């Protein structure tokens, strides 16, 4: 199920398709994915389409599909270069940027995010429930999980390197903050591996974990 991938990038939220499967299959997979997750999408969220190989007609079809879910699909501009520049060094200018555009809103979700479901937000996200293995949370701002985080979490997904991920039990498959990645050890982790609530943030060019007091 990794043929259709949603990914945060400096220029916004992207949907990446592989050209190894035909359009009808891609369309189907997208629909499945939106069906599984759409209620977690903020209405009016803009998603950039990264699939040059599609015809105009096919792109139009996809735009209509997204429109059914209240989402806006746009053609991705050539932003690869911008993406590659993202390093810890220009973090400051970047977050200042973000701050100027608009204050980030916070979405609160009161349920467990299950395998195959994705939460995508152009603000911050608070989840009162677990994020299970195979679930993904992507947010432009912070991610705060009041429960166990076992899935993939991407905070500051549009380039904000000041973003944080916190959880009562932080045992994720992968943590991403802006373009930094940290992954879990190759064994399956249990709650015992997270004796206290933790917060992940970027410091000195790497993702570090810090104990959170007064939580859980």
Partner 1 sequence: MSEVIVITSGKGGVGKTTTTANLGVGLAKRGYKVVLIDTDTGLRNLDLLLGLENRIMYDLVDVATGKVPYRKALVRHKKHDNLFLLPTSQIRDKSAVDGDQLVDICNQMRSEFDYILIDCPAGIEQGFKTAVAAADYAIVVTMPEISAVRDADKIIGELNRADKTHIKLVVNRIRSHMVEAGDMLDMSDIDDILAIECIGQVPDDEMVVTSTNRGEPVISNKKSLAGQAYSNIVGRICGEQIPFLDLKKKNLFDKLKQMLHV
| Neighbour-count burial of 185, counting CB atoms closer than 10 A to its CB (0-12 exposed, 13-18 middle, 19+ buried) | exposed
CB of 148 to partner 1, least distance (A): 6
Q: How far apart are CA 197 and CA 214, in angstroms?
A: 9
Query: In terms of CB distance, is 53 or 185 closer to partner 1?
Result: 185
Answer for which of 117, 124, 136, 168 binds partner 1 (CB under 8 A) is 117
Residue 58 structure tokens: 């096919």
Task: State which of residues 16, 112, 123, 126 lies at the interface with partner 1 (CB under 8 A).
Answer: 112
By CB atoms closer than 10 A (0-12, 13-18, 19+), residue 155 is: buried
When asked if residue 136 is in the footprint of partner 1 (CB under 8 A), the reply is no
Of the ranges 50-58, 85-93, 132-140, 203-211, which one interacts with partner 1 (CB under 8 A)? 132-140
Residues 17-36 that bind partner 1 (CB under 8 A): 35-36
In 3D, which of 145, 46, 160 has the Cα closest to residue 103?
Answer: 160
Report the residue number, 61 or 191, with the smaller CB distance to partner 1: 191
Determine, following the binding rule CB under 8 A, whether residue 150 of this chain makes contact with partner 1: yes
Residue closer to partner 1 (CB basis): 90 or 115: 115
Cα 101 to Cα 3, 80, 95: the distances in Å are 32, 22, 10
Neighbours of 83 (CB within 10 A): 13
Interaction site with partner 1 (CB under 8 A): 35-36, 112, 114-117, 129-130, 132-134, 148, 150, 187-188, 190-191
């Amino acid at each position: 199920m990794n043929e259709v991938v949603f990914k945060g990038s400096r220029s916004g939220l992207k949907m990446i398709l592989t050209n190894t499967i035909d359009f009808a299959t891609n369309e189907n997979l997208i629909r499945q994915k939106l069906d599984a997750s759409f209620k977690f999408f903020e209405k009016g969220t803009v998603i950039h389409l990264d699939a040059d190989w599609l015809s105009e007609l096919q792109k139009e079809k996809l735009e209509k599909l997204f429109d059914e879910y209240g989402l806006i699909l746009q053609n991705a501009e050539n932003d690869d270069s911008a993406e590659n520049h993202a390093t810890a060094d220009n973090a400051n200018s970047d977050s200042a940027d973000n701050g100027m555009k608009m204050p980030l809103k916070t979405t609160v979700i009161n349920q467990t995010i299950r395998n195959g479901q994705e939460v995508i937000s152009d603000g911050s996200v608070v989840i009162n429930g677990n994020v299970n293995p195979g679930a993904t949370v992507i947010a432009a701002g912070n991610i705060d999980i009041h429960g166990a985080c076992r899935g993939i979490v991407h905070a500051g997904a549009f380039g904000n390197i000041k973003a944080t991920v916190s959880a009562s039990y932080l045992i994720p498959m992968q943590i991403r903050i802006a373009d930094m990645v940290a992954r879990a050890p190759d064994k399956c982790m249990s709650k015992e591996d997270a004796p206290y609530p933790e917060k992940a943030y970027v410091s000195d060019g790497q993702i570090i974990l810090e104990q959170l007091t007064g939580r859980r």
